[in-house]
């Protein structure tokens, strides 16, 4: 998701995964957030590599670059150290945090640093922490922070829809009984 937003800001994102069809939507969201004085936190730096690790937990050569300087032939695979610090500091003053999606390829030790930093920050805060999505749930549990979270759901998209106030079929049918 971050690379789609970075592309919407006009940054080159190299070969990073992004949703081309959502760039316009992200531009609109950034504009609306600015108009309303809402802060959207995006990576200020990224950990990049020439390719996705294969196998996923294999050794990989990486570098950290500013988010607006991702080389055209490389892909972002984790947030960088400046972003990890930025996100960790932001969490300290939050009252509620909804986290959907790891910061990077957390299954790889080299690319797990951003996810570890954010999970650790959440574990140390008094904020209500809502973790949504199978990868996010796996990350906080695998890293040993699961018991420190307020709520963990493997339903990432469903969690977000629930928080939006949408009716979920599984909940509706239970409530009808």
Range of the domain at 56: 2-175
Task: Report the SS3 class of residue 33.
Answer: helix
Q: How far does CA 98 lie from the centroid of its chain?
A: 10
pLDDT value for 177? 64
Starting at the edge strand found earlier in the chain, the sheet holding 63-66 runs: 63-66, 45-49, 75-79
Residue 95 burial (CB < 10 Å; 0-12/13-18/19+)? exposed
What integer is the mean pLDDT of 31-48? Answer: 96
The domain spanning residue 16 has which CATH number? 3.40.50.1260
How far is Cα 112 from Cα 121, in angstroms, rounded to an integer? 14
- Answer whether 80's CB lies under 8 Å from 115's CB: no
- Answer whether 148's CB lies under 8 Å from 125's CB: no
pLDDT band for position 36 (50/70/90)? very high
Q: Which residue has the tokens 């749930």?
A: 137
What integer is the mean pLDDT of 4-17? Answer: 97
Residue 146 has pLDDT above 90, yes or no: yes
Average pLDDT, the chain: 92
What integer is the mean pLDDT of 91-118? Answer: 93
pLDDT value for 14? 98
Residue 42 has pLDDT above 90, yes or no: yes
How far is Cα 126 from Cα 93, in angstroms, rounded to an integer? 9
The count of structural domains within the chain is 1
What integer is the mean pLDDT of 9-22? Answer: 97
Lowest mean pLDDT among 9-23, 68-82, 124-138: 124-138
Encoded tokens for 161: 């829809």
| pLDDT per residue as tens digits for the range 21-30 | 999 999 999 9
133: left (phi over 0), alpha (psi -120 to 50) or beta: left
What integer is the mean pLDDT of 154-167? Answer: 77
């Amino acid at each position: 998701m971050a690379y789609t937003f970075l592309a919407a800001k006009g940054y080159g994102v190299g070969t990073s995964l992004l949703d081309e069809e959502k760039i316009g939507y992200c531009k609109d969201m950034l504009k609306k957030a600015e108009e309303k004085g809402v802060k959207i936190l995006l990576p200020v730096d990224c950990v990049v590599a020439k390719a996705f690790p294969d196998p996923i937990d294999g050794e990989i050569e990486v570098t950290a670059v500013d988010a607006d300087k991702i080389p055209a032939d490389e892909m972002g695979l984790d947030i960088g150290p400046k972003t990890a610090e930025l996100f960790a500091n932001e969490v300290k003053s939050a009252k509620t945090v909804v986290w959907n999606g790891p910061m990077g390829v957390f299954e790889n030790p080299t690319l797990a640093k951003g996810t570890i930093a954010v999970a650790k920050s959440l574990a140390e805060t008094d904020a209500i922490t809502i973790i949504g999505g199978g990868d996010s749930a796996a990350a906080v549990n695998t890293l040993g922070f699961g018991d420190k979270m307020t709520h963990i759901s493997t339903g990432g998209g469903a969690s977000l829809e629930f928080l939006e106030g949408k009716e979920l079929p599984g909940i509706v049918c239970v409530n009808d009984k």
